[in-house]
Amino acid sequence: MMAATGSAVRALVRREVIAICAVVFAADIVMGTVNATFSLYASSLGASLVSIGLLSSLSGATSLVASTPVGVISDRVGRVPVLLLGLIGFTVAMALFAAAPNPALLVPGRLLTGIAVVATFWIAAAYLGDVVGSAERGLAFGLLTTAMGVGFTIGPLAAGEIAERSSLRVAYAAATVVAAAGVAIVLTIPRDSEATRGNRALPRPSLGALLGIARERPLIVAGIANILSALTFGGAVATIFPLYGAALGLTTAAIGTMFAIRSIASTVVRLPSGAVIAAVGSGRVLAASLAVQVVAVAGLGSARDFGPMLVWLMLEGIGFGAFLTSSQAYLAEHTVAATRGAAIGVFSMTGGIGYTLAPVALGIVAARLGLSAAFFVTGGLGLLALAAMAWVWRGSPSASPQSSMGERGRGAEP
């Protein structure tokens, strides 16, 4: 057992794995800055609650449209060129945010952010799935999502401090520099991998083939899970919570600190989640992580003071951290290299649906019923999504938490 663990660790400590973790670390510093401050920044430029929801949804809408094409392109040309475009997109988006004089000029940056999220985070996951073996995937994705969590911790904390000392505009300028550093890191990653090198000779996937991938029950389960996570995090936490905290008298620095502490809690559970996945399966961890997120978001709606708000936010972060690790491991288990990018693109598209609809819908709920009502609505929708996942799992053994469609296709795995 110890020998196997040591072998798995050695397999992870190599150039391409460390580099891909460094890339997502830089990208999540950027996204941590955006998620913790964007609604406040848009509000400071004069945007209304509904407008903030619409602006926030633009990234999700762009991801929705771009996800499958980006995934398919990464199958054809390799992951690294797509990653490079993703980090360039982040760099340009942050520069546009820093320069925007009014809410309307935030639109181009939100559109670029949506493409960059797909081309960076999900393609990084596909790359990691290509270069590590099945025995190391739990720990590998635990390491990757830990790097994401550390970046997401630093982003809100730094942005909050910069905003207090200077302005949010300066915070976005700093994020531009971090994104540019990410571009430099991508340039050090090997351009291709054995897993995807042969994909270029394969026929281009047809619409029917993509629909066939999307109809696989494990991917349906993962898609429902991704919509739910987008609803809880992209809608309730990233869009509504900063406004909720500000309405209760919290400063920008305090909100940034709360996001940072949430990210620490989220980061701490990611490597252990990878170990738990190896023991009980990614599907079970996936379901449990979503249940924790739903409970925590509903709890936020009843919190009025810093302490209880922080506890619920930390609990949501723990669920989110376990979700990131388990969802990526679940996808890697249920796909093969030749179509992994396309499958992850379809999966990312479902997140785009959530990130598109949730901010707008919850912005309308908050405007009409109050900010706290948005959290309770999210909790109710989350219960419905969990019930839908259970129904799909129950209807097909191949999608169940303890089984893996990847076992059937592993012969095609390099």
* Domain presence at residue 202: no
pLDDT of residue 324: 84
* Domain presence at residue 203: no
Domain membership of residue 59 as a residue range: 11-191+209-403
Would you say 265 and 170 are in contact if contact means Cβ atoms under 8 Å apart?
A: no
* Domain presence at residue 365: yes
Residue type, 3: A
Run of H or E residues at 187: none
pLDDT of residue 89: 96
C-beta neighbour count of 107 within 10 angstroms: 14
* Domain presence at residue 187: yes
Kindly give the confidence (pLDDT) of every residue in the chain, 414 residues in length, as a single tens digit, with 9 standing for 90 and above. Answer: 444 444 445 555 677 888 899 999 999 999 989 988 898 899 889 988 888 888 888 887 888 888 888 888 888 888 899 999 999 999 999 999 999 999 988 999 999 999 999 899 888 988 887 887 766 777 788 888 888 888 888 888 888 889 888 899 999 999 999 999 999 999 988 765 544 454 454 445 554 555 555 556 777 888 888 888 889 988 899 889 999 999 999 888 888 889 889 888 988 888 888 788 878 888 889 999 999 999 999 999 999 989 999 999 999 999 998 998 888 888 877 777 666 777 777 787 787 788 788 888 898 999 999 999 999 999 999 999 899 888 887 755 455 554 444 333 333 332
Would you say 314 and 258 are in contact if contact means Cβ atoms under 8 Å apart?
A: no
pLDDT of residue 397: 47
Residue with tokens 């399966």: 281
Q: What is the largest CA-CA distance in the chain?
A: 59
Q: Rounded to 5 degrees, what are φ and ψ at 242? A: -60, -40
This prediction's pTM: 0.70
* Domain presence at residue 79: yes
* Domain presence at residue 186: yes
CATH of the domain at 61: 1.20.1250.20
pLDDT of residue 2: 42
Would you say 246 and 38 are in contact if contact means Cβ atoms under 8 Å apart?
A: no
Closest among 406, 357, 407, 349 to 381, alpha carbons compared: 357
Would you say 287 and 327 are in contact if contact means Cβ atoms under 8 Å apart?
A: no
* Domain presence at residue 3: no
Q: Where are the beta strands (DSSP E) in 77-151?
A: none
Number of structural domains the chain divides into: 1
Would you say 331 and 129 are in contact if contact means Cβ atoms under 8 Å apart?
A: yes
What is the rounded distance in angstroms from the CA atom of residue 242 to the CA atom of residue 254? 10
* Domain presence at residue 198: no
